[in-house]
């Protein structure tokens, strides 16, 4: 399902994000953010982190996205996970997260965490709930700009990917 084949654009497929995907990522994320389902992202923040993103695309349109942001030598975060409503329940969210986990393993970052309003999805993928206070303080640098700060309802979850060696 996730294998990228150059020129195959008539069916959804997963690939690394291109600069040209930034507007589509922002539109999808901010649509869900307006519904209170995720946090909004500015176009500039997406451009700054475009190398962290992977996308589901069909005929040039972004239908899903996720980003893996490295936080420290032993910790990365899955962020900005979104899938178009018509693709939900078809395994694309799982594909995006698993691609992030593979990248974490490739980089030899042993643990991946996420902050989510939908923890059950991540629990099914082998993540475990943790207390937010168990995360290093540096992961909270974005929180000060969050509209939910300081009353965050997101749940912290973590998954071990490997030993980092």
| Contact call for residues 126 and 159 (beta carbons, < 8 A) | yes
Write the CATH number for 150: 3.40.630.30
* C-alpha span between 108 and 122 (Å, rounded): 21
> What is the pLDDT, as a whole number, of residue 1?
44
pLDDT digits (tens, 9 = 90+) for 107-135: 999 999 998 888 999 999 999 999 887 88
**Sheet of 75-83, strand order:** 13-16, 53-58, 61-72, 75-83, 111-116, 155-160, 128-130
* C-alpha span between 144 and 66 (Å, rounded): 22
Q: Answer whether residue 2 is part of any domain.
A: no
Q: Answer whether residue 1 is part of any domain.
A: no
The boundaries of the domain holding residue 67 are 13-160
pLDDT digits (tens, 9 = 90+) for 47-79: 999 999 999 999 999 999 999 999 989 999 999
Flag whether pLDDT at 139 surpasses 50: yes
Ramachandran bin of 105, using left for φ above 0, alpha for ψ from -120 to 50, beta for the remaining angles: alpha
| pTM, full prediction | 0.85
Going by pLDDT thresholds of 50, 70 and 90, the confidence category of residue 5 is very low
Structural domain tally of the chain?
1
């Amino acid at each position: 399902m996730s294998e990228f084949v150059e020129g195959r654009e008539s069916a959804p497929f997963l690939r690394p994000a291109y600069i040209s995907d930034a507007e589509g990522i922002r539109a999808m994320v901010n649509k869900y953010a307006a519904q209170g389902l995720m946090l909004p992202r500015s176009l500039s923040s997406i451009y700054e982190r475009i190398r962290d993103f992977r996308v589901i695309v069909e005929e040039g349109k972004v239908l899903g996205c996720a980003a893996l942001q490295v936080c420290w030598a032993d910790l990365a975060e899955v962020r900005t996970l979104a899938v178009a409503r018509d693709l939900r329940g078809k395994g694309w969210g799982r594909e995006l997260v698993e691609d992030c986990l593979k990248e974490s393993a490739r980089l030899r970052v042993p643990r991946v965490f996420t902050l989510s309003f939908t923890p059950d999805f991540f629990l099914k993928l082998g993540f475990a709930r943790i207390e937010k206070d168990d995360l290093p303080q540096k992961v909270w640098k974005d929180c000060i700009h969050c509209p939910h700060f300081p009353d965050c309802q997101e749940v912290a979850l973590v998954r071990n990917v490997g030993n980092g060696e």
